[in-house]
Structure 1
Amino acid sequence: MSNSNIGNTPSSLRKPVVLMTMGTQERKGHDYQVMTHKYITPLVEFGGCVPVLVPTCCGIDELETYLSMADGVYLTGAGSNIDPGLYGQENLTPGKAQDKHRDVFDIALVQLALARGLPIFGICRGMQEINVALGGDIYQKVYAEPGFNDHRENPDDPVNVQYAAAHGVQIAVGSWLQTALGTDRIRVNSLHGQGLRTLGQGLEALAVADDGLVEAIHAPSLSPFLFAVQWHPEWQAASNPNSIALFEAFGDACRARVQQTQGSARAAMA
């Protein structure tokens, strides 16, 4: 379903509710739970979904409560790295911020959401979380690995330069992603020092950078819709048809989940 058809959704079909987990950020001696505005708006405007921001600082005891109200899960990027101990490595980037509350919460969230058959969409850190949750690991310093390019942004550049298209990605020929975008090659932005090394169980590469680094994944054997990208489609999504198509695809998957759930509920009442 395209964005233009969202308004034509039958009135009996409610908008999908999507969980968005927040991260820890310290400001002037106070700990905050935060979510960047840029991630929320395309989910609403092009996905046609209702976001529910979920704190990760209180543990995982209420995960099932959150999931019981959800039609999808959306894992965004963040400025922190995943604790390497979670994928069996020592920390090679001790100067980089970590967010262990989010690590623990999101890894459990991915596993339980998959068990429920919920659509999952991950961006940057979110893609790495999905990989770790399924037993994969990460290059902690892509820029120091032989054969790979430096995928980091220049911190001294203005934001619009940091998020500009930086390199091409090759999309798997014949894949649903190629169909959704109408091409097997696009250019994307690049703002990450880490990347996927060994793919987790059930994950398959959907797109790779010119240097071979995995830039998009899915898991057709595990889920009707588990999809994640290493780039940032949320950035100025309204001006990027490829970004719009990705959020529409996730929204469509979440609406299918709503339709399935409501159909099951009606059948149970019949």
Structure 2
Amino acid sequence: MPLQQESARQERKPVILMSMGQQDRNGHAYQVMTHKYMQPVVDISDCIPLLIPTCFGVADIEQYLDMADGVYLSGAASNIDPSLYGQENLTPEKKQDLARDLVDIALIKGAVKRGLPILGICRGMQEMNIAFGGDLYQKVHDEDHLNDHREDPDTPPDVQYGASHSISMVKGSWLHKLLGDTIEVNSLHGQGIKTLGKGLEALALAEDGLVEALHAPYLPQFTLGVQWHPEWKALENPDSIKIFKAFGEACRRRAGSALDLRIDKAS
């Protein structure tokens, strides 16, 4: 490998796109991203987060994707607009963020076409499912065959994000090889996967059968959506470390392939 190419590989960290969300404060519209979602991208994945404001629409999505080696869809307090998956809104009391939905779905579809690794957490996993044509239970706790997966909002964060139930990996899957048979996860969601999108498959299930992790096995790149929150105190959780390391390695491979292509074109 030429010295110039090897040096570029060592110096450049992969760039990970992360979309921000709408939040109103004192009469002003803010674009926000919680620190806890960015931290493991830096500390564990060893990548650079690049935040995308979602308030300007999707016109510049391709230019953002040009700069990216991966896409990371975080959770948020807002629900996905149910019109995007053909349902009426059953949770009018919950905030929605349609601008973020539209940007994230465009990011997912663009990443699929470009071969960029994709990681989705909680709401992000649900957006992945919608982008592939699936739908959601808007109130998991109202389904007779499912448990209540919501957190207690009156407890401190350490309790809310503490392990609350186990999940089982699909036998023989790559996530099974990564994490083992079962792990304990936190649970802070009122909505969940109802029908998997086209081409998506479950990687892990909760005790009640709810999908807790999914991927797109027909795609060549890394794809993973998880319903729990591995970002919470990720450095203290061996399973979270494995997930963010796997994502970072996938983004590094993508960055290396893109660098090779650029150098080949320039030489």
Normalised by the length of structure 1, the TM-score is: 0.95
Aligned counterparts of 1:17 and 1:120: Cα–Cα separation in 2: 12
Q: Return the offset for 1:222.
A: 2.3
Moved over 6 A (4+): none
* Residue aligned with 1:216, SS: strand
How much does 1:127 deviate? 0.3
Give the structure 1 partner of residue 160 of structure 2: 162
Cα distance per residue 1:11-45 (max 9 Å; x no partner) = 43121000000000111111100000000110001
Instruction: Give the deviation of 1:224 after TM superposition.
Output: 1.6
* SS of residue in 2 equivalent to 1:197: strand
Counterparts of 1:157 and 1:185, CA distance in 2: 26
Partner of 1:3: none
Q: Residues of 1 paired with 2:39 and 2:208: CA distance?
A: 32
In structure 2, distance between residues paired with 1:217 and 1:12:
34
Q: Distance in 2 between matches of 1:33 and 1:248?
A: 28
- Show the 5 A alignment for 1:165-180: 165-180=163-178
Match of 2:41, SS state, is helix
The CA RMSD over aligned residues, in Å, is 0.9
**Structure 2 counterpart of 1:197, from 194, 213, 223:** 194
In structure 1, what residue type is equivalent to 2:8?
A: S
- 1:246-265 counterparts in 2 under 5 A? 246-265=243-262
- Find 1:71's aligned residue among 69, 72, 87: 69
In 2, the alpha carbon distance for the partners of 1:36 and 1:223 equals 30
SS at match of 2:178: helix
Q: How many residues align?
A: 260
Q: 1:37-59 CA deviation, whole Å, 9 max, x = no partner?
A: 00011000100100001000001
Give unmatched runs, 5+ long, in structure 1: 1-9
Instruction: Tell me the residue number matched to 1:5.
Output: none
Corresponding residue for residue 3 of structure 2: none
Cα distance, 1:223 vs. partner? 3.8
Distance in 1 separating the partners of 2:94 and 2:263 = 50
- Quick check: 1:77–1:126 contact (8 Å CA) kept in 2? yes
Go from structure 1 to structure 2 and tell me whether the alpha carbon gap of 1:239 and 1:34 turns closer, same or farther (over 3 Å shift): same
Q: Which residue of 2 aligns with 1:99?
A: 97
